[in-house]
Amino acid sequence: MHLVSPFSGIVMWLRIVFFYLIVFYCAQRRKPSRDRMNARAFHKASRFADPG
C-alpha cells in the first residue's frame, strides 16, 4: 500500500508532462503537410493522458 500511492502519483505526473510535451511539440512543428499526423498524435496523447 505504501508504494502504490507515490507510484501512481509519479505515473500521473509523467502522463501530464508527456501530454504537454506532445502538444508543445505539435504546436512548434505545425505544418500543412503534418496537420493530419499532428492531429493523430494529439488524439493519441489525449487518450493516453486520460485518467480513466
The DSSP secondary-structure symbol of 50 reads -
- What percentage of the chain reaches a pLDDT higher than 70? 58
What is the pTM (predicted TM-score) of this model?
A: 0.40
Residue 31, by phi and psi: left (phi above 0), alpha (psi -120 to 50) or beta? beta
Confidence of residue 20 (pLDDT cuts 50, 70, 90): very high
Q: Residue 35: which pLDDT band, with cuts at 50, 70 and 90? A: low
Average pLDDT along the chain: 74
